[in-house]
Amino acid sequence: GDRYPGSRFLDHFLRYQDDPNAKILLLLGEVGGIDEYDVIEAVKAGRITKPIIAWCIGTCASYFATEVQFGHAGAQARGDMETARAKNKAMREAGFFVPESFDKLPDVINQVYTQLVEEGEIVETPEDPTPQVPVDYTWAKKLGMVRKPANFISSIADDRGDELKYAGVTISEVFKQDLGVGGVLSLLWFRRRLPDYCTKFIEMILMVTADHGPAVSGAHNTIVTARAGKDLISALCSGLLTIGPRFGGALDDAAKQFSEAHDHGLSPRDFVEKMKKTNQLIMGIGHRIKSLANPDQRVVIIKEYAKKHFQSSPILDFALEVEQVTTRKRANLILNVDGCIAVCFVDMIRSCGAFTQEECEDLMTFGCLNGMFVLGRSIGFIGHYID
C-alpha cells in the first residue's frame, strides 16, 4: 500500500523461487495496494511453484464504519479488491496456505514445514547450540553478582583477583622471589622485572640519596615546619617542594645533557665549550667542597658498582672525561652524586636489554630519575621530622 515502494513482493519471491536453499515462502501483506495479486498471477502462471504461506493484515477494517489507515505508511484500501479480506480469499483460492486468522499463522507454518520434512523436500540439520544469554547488569548488580567497574584503570597494579599483583606478579611471588624494594620499584615504575644487578643499583640510589645533613634546603624546610608544630605530611611536603635544579632536581637534566652530547658524537671538550657559549650550566657537575683529591664517597660507590656490574658504561665514561676538562678550570667542578647517578642510570637501562631506545628516552623524559631522588630523600626528610 506504499505510495512509492522501493521493491515489491514479486521481486523478492522470484529471487527466493530461484534459490534452492529456500523451501517455503512466507508473505505478510497489508491492506491497500495490489502487490499480492502479482504474486497470485505468478503462481497461476507456474513461475512460482514453492509453497507459500500468506496472511494479509487489516481484516478488522470491516468492523469500522469509516475507512481506516494502517501502519506507518498509512496503508488504506482504495476499493474492495484492496481489502485484507479480499486478498486473503484470493490467495487461499490460488493455493496459498492462508490461516483463518493471524494467531493461527504459527500453526500453519508448522504444518507446512512438517509436511515437507515428511516428503523429504526439507532435510533437517542440527541447529547450533543456543548461546547463553548474558545476565542483565542491573539485575546482576542487585543480586550482588557483579560490582560497578572502577573509574580508573592501571597497568601497574591489579587488586581484582585472589591477591594483589604488581605488573602481573602476585604479592606472594614478590616475597617468594625476594625481589626487594628495587624489584618492586622496577615492577611499578617500569612494568617489568629487571635483572638483580639493576634492582640492587636502584636500591643503592635510594640509599645514597636518603639524606645529606640538616643544612640543605629540603631538610631545613622539613625541620622548620616540624618545629612549627605541623604534621608529618605537611613537613615532608615542605621539604619536597624545595627540590629543583639547584637541589636534587638535576638528575633528569644531567642524564639528558650527557647522553645527547655523547650520542651526537661531541668530544668532552666540545661539549664543555658548547655549554659555555650557550651560557648553560652542566647539570651534575660541581660540588661546594668535594674535589678529585677529596672525592665524594657516594660517587665512588656508584661509579665502582656501575663499572663492575653493567654491560657497558659509555655515558659514565663520557662524563668522567668531561670531569677531566672541567676540573682543569676549578678543582671542585667534579662529577657530583646527581650527575653520577644520572649517567649510570642511563647506562643501566640502555645496556640491561629490558628497554628499547625509545623507552629509554621516554623514561628520562617522564622524570623517573628525579622521582628516585624524591623517593630516596623522603626517607631522610621523615627522619628529620621524627628527630
pLDDT digits (tens, 9 = 90+) for 318-348: 999 999 999 999 999 999 999 999 999 999 9
SS3 state at 360: helix
Give the Cα separation of 337 and 76 in Å (integer): 92
Sequence letter at residue 231: D
Contact between 203 and 180 under an 8 Å Cβ cutoff? The reply is yes
What does the pLDDT read at residue 160? 80
Do residues 326 and 333 lie in contact, with contact meaning Cβ atoms separated by under 8 Å?
A: yes
Q: What is the pLDDT of residue 145?
A: 83
Helix pair 251-263, 368-386: axis angle to 10 deg: 150
C-alpha of 92 from chain center: 61
DSSP β-ladder status, 165-166 and 169-170: antiparallel
pLDDT score recorded for residue 79: 65
**Measuring CA to CA, which residue among 255, 257, 263 is closest to residue 346?**
255
Q: In which residue ranges of the chain is pLDDT below 70? A: 1-3, 67-79, 149-151
Q: Which residues of 116-148 are buried (b: 16+ CB within 10 A; e: fewer)?
A: beeeeeeeeeeeeeeeeeeeeeeeeeeeeeeee
Asked if 269 and 327 count as a contact pair (C-beta separation under 8 A), the reply is: no
Q: Which pLDDT value is given to residue 74?
A: 47
> Which pLDDT value is given to residue 70?
60
Identify the pLDDT of residue 71: 56
Active-site positions read: 72
Answer whether 0.75 is exceeded by the pTM.
Answer: no
Q: Which of 368, 311, 380 is nearest to 342 (CA)?
A: 368
